[in-house]
Amino acid sequence: MAKAVMTFPADFRWGTATAAYQVEGNNTNSDWWQWEHSGSNILEGHKSGLASDWWQNAEADLDLAAEMGNNAHRLSLEWSRIEPEPSVFDQAALDRYRQILQAMHDRGIEPMVTLHHFSNPIWLAEKGDFNSSLVLDYFKRYTAKVVDALGDLIPKWVTINEPMVYAVLRYLDGVFPAPQRKGYGAALEAVGNMLRCHAAAYHIIKEQYPQAEVGIAKNTAVLEPAPGGMLNGWWARKASWFYNEAIWDTLVDGRFRWPFGHGKVDGLAGSFDFIGINYYTRFYLKFPPRGKLWEEEWGPEAVVSDGNYGEVYPEGLFRVIKSVLKYDKPIYITENGLPDATDRLRPSYLITHLREIWRAISFCYPVMGYYHWSLVDNFEWDRGWTQRFGLIELDPETQERKLRKSGQLYGEMCRSGSLSSEMAEQYAPDLIPALFPGQVPERDS
């Protein structure tokens, strides 16, 4: 049987992703550390502890990433390490980040660095975090320090990770560290200030490194009307624009749109060099919403990942990519993955989602790279260690690692720059009839 091959461009970024608080361990100056040690805020009472021990030993996982053939990795910096007290910068922390970034370059792994990924210094939280009028000056100062210390090693930047998720989970759902103010008004104010911080950071980076690529990583979900209900379709369209597109529209011309506020923000127009898409699943919406934007309910045929996290819906990735073509920017899939402790779904998840990216590239859609979430099992915020996203399995007690079957598969994709019927036959043979028609191997009778 001839092998069928889906080939990706030679300069495609084959990456993975992590976030500082989730992998570094012992981030004691973060509001998340305070949150997880106060009451029963984390599922099953889990604690991050050493997490994935990256602060001491990131290089070991970077070795595994390099062996997999990764040529890119997205990581974040922990603001609370760099500035543990207002105006007090920790040079040793900056030096350690420089070691990690240099280690990536030494292994042929291009860094994409996120300045803010959900975690704040305790002192900033006490001052009101992104509801505070002071946050803009603080974020400027933090960004300038990072750019001066590390900018020569960072070709790609994400200023803010998932501003809408931050706002919803912190100000509305209450599963992230509790802010001083809650509710819709506080959430929208926080998003507005995040966009101001983004604009300021964009120009600070570009002034010193004009060739750097700078953007935002935006969680983008497929939002569809739930069956029944005359207004469900209308509400799904409105919610999809608000959740998925309003921020990009604001970045195009620098004007806040309802419900973020009114008026133009200095420096915001055009302040993005790429679209960063974090895609995981689709949700169904009912009107009126009953306390939540969407329903975590799935149809009887849906394949759902661990902990009812979400439906496996690979076609949604193509739909999301197509929806952002109007912004005429390069596209990076800055996160994509699922919690799957036994690795029963992840091989087929990888194959079907990478197939959608290949399909988009075949239409000449400018998808430049893919960063799988995540490289290694990590502390998954309010869900603790109950959800495992890693291509590398981790025992947080012993820190022992094991490359999962899905990691072996992703390594074959990265090293070859392709997705083939042979890979599907080895790792997820049930997919062959749909993905590779005519490639069904003959079975012994």
pLDDT > 90 fraction of the chain, expressed in percent and rounded: 89
Tokens coding 280: 């995981």
Report how far Cα 417 is from the mean position of its chain's Cα atoms: 22
pTM: 0.97
Q: Find, among 72, 74, 10, 2, the residue nearest to 416 by Cα.
A: 10
pLDDT digits (tens, 9 = 90+) for 407-444: 999 999 999 999 999 999 999 999 999 898 876 555 44
Is-contact 380 305, C-beta < 8 A? no
- Give the CA angle between residues 243, 244, 249 to the nearest 5°: 105
Cα dihedral sign, 227-231-234-236: negative
Q: In 3D, which of 236, 247, 243 has the Cα closest to residue 289?
A: 236
Domains of the chain: 5-435 (3.20.20.80)
pLDDT the model gives residue 444: 45
- Under 8 Å between Cβ of 392 and 406: no
What is the SS3 assignment for 212-224?
CEEEEEEECCEEE
Give the model's pLDDT for residue 128: 95
**Amino acid identity, residue 391?**
L
Reduced to 3 states (helix: H, G, I; strand: E, B; else coil), residue 359 is helix
Cβ burial, residue 188 (10 Å; 0-12/13-18/19+): middle
Which 8-state DSSP code applies to residue 88?
B
Q: How confident is the model at residue 298 (pLDDT cuts 50, 70, 90)?
A: confident
**Which band of pLDDT confidence, cut at 50, 70 and 90, is reported for residue 445?**
very low
Q: Is the pLDDT of residue 286 over 60?
A: yes
Task: Fill in the DSSP letter of residue 255.
Answer: B
**Tens of pLDDT along 94-128?**
999 999 999 999 999 999 999 999 999 999 999 99
Mean pLDDT throughout 6-29?
A: 98
Angle at 330 between CA 421 and CA 104, to 5 degrees: 75
| Predicted pLDDT of residue 103 | 98
Residue range 229-241: mean pLDDT, rounded = 92
Arithmetic mean of pLDDT, 341-353: 98
**pLDDT by residue (tens digit) across 187-205?**
999 999 999 999 999 999 9
Phi, psi of 166, rounded to the nearest 5 degrees: -55, -50
User: Which pair of structure tokens corresponds to residue 187?
Assistant: 């959430």
Amino acid at 38: S
The string of pLDDT tens digits covering residues 248-263 is: 999 999 998 766 667 8
User: How far is Cα 82 from Cα 144, in angstroms, rounded to an integer?
Assistant: 12
Output the pLDDT for position 263: 80
Over residues 304-332, the pLDDT tens digits come to: 999 999 999 999 999 999 999 999 999 99
Crossing angle of helices 54-68 and 91-106, rounded to 10°: 10
In whole angstroms, what is the distance from residue 26 CA to residue 47 CA?
10
Is residue 85 helix, strand or coil?
A: strand
- Round to whole Å and give the CA distance between 181 and 128: 8
